[in-house]
């Protein structure tokens, strides 16, 4: 005959829940942080072309600009340590899930390609390593 004990059953359930909680924490700690949903660079470029945009970067740089139908982005921006507003322009091209920009000064200048992710509806992150800038249509 099998006897049933409520105390034994509760202890087993508690151990199972605790083990599941610990497993979730371990798995969560080993996975990279979710950086948003990766999107195709061409889709983002088409959505933003011909529109005014807002730029916000991890280093505190903020700006605004416009992306022409020809794929040129003109920006005015201010770095956090500067009172002076600067301007720059870049040729934009698409390479799969990346948007490539050839800046003269912004971000140290040069040509770079950046994977694009959608961080929130209408807000797109161009990133490389720990550095990133968000770009969205200006309101």
Which tokens hold the place of 38?
Answer: 């990766």
The helix (H) or strand (E) run that includes residue 84 is none
The pLDDT tens digits of the residues spanning 31-90 come to 344 458 999 999 999 999 999 999 999 999 999 999 999 999 999 999 999 999 999 999
d(CA 96, CA 115): 9
The domain segmentation of the chain, as residue ranges, is: 37-137
- Which pLDDT does position 106 carry in this prediction? 85
- The phi, psi pair for 29, rounded to 5°, reads -75, -25
- Which pLDDT does position 100 carry in this prediction? 95
- Which pLDDT does position 139 carry in this prediction? 78
Q: What's the whole-model pTM score?
A: 0.71
Which tokens hold the place of 132?
Answer: 């990133």
- Which pLDDT does position 14 carry in this prediction? 41
- Which pLDDT does position 109 carry in this prediction? 85
Question: Are the beta carbons of 64 and 75 closer than 8 angstroms?
Answer: yes
- Which pLDDT does position 18 carry in this prediction? 33
DSSP string, 24-36: HHHHHHHSPPP--
HSE of 5, CA atoms in CB hemisphere, 13 A:
4
The answer for residues whose C-beta is within 8 angstroms of residue 31's C-beta and 6 or more apart is: none
Top pLDDT among 10 and 45 is at: 45
CATH for 37-137 (2.40.128.280, 1.10.20.140, 3.40.190.10, 1.20.1600.10):
2.40.128.280
The answer for residues whose C-beta is within 8 angstroms of residue 79's C-beta and 6 or more apart is: 59, 60, 61, 86
Tell me the mean pLDDT in the region 9-37: 42
The pLDDT tens digits of the residues spanning 76-131 come to 999 999 999 999 999 999 999 999 999 988 878 889 999 999 999 999 999 988 99
């Amino acid at each position: 005959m099998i006897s049933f004990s409520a105390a034994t059953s509760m202890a087993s359930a508690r151990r199972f829940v605790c083990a599941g909680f610990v497993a979730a924490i371990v798995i969560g700690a080993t996975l990279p942080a979710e950086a948003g949903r990766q999107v195709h660079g061409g889709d983002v470029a088409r959505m933003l072309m011909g529109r005014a945009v807002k730029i916000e970067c991890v280093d505190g740089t903020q700006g605004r600009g416009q992306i022409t139908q020809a794929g040129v982005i003109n920006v005015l921006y201010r770095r956090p340590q500067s009172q002076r507003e600067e301007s720059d322009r870049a040729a934009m091209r698409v390479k799969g899930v990346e948007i490539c920009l050839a800046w003269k000064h912004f971000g140290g200048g040069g040509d770079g390609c950046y994977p694009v992710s959608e961080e929130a509806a209408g807000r797109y992150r161009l990133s490389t390593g720990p550095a990133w800038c968000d770009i969205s249509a200006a309101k």
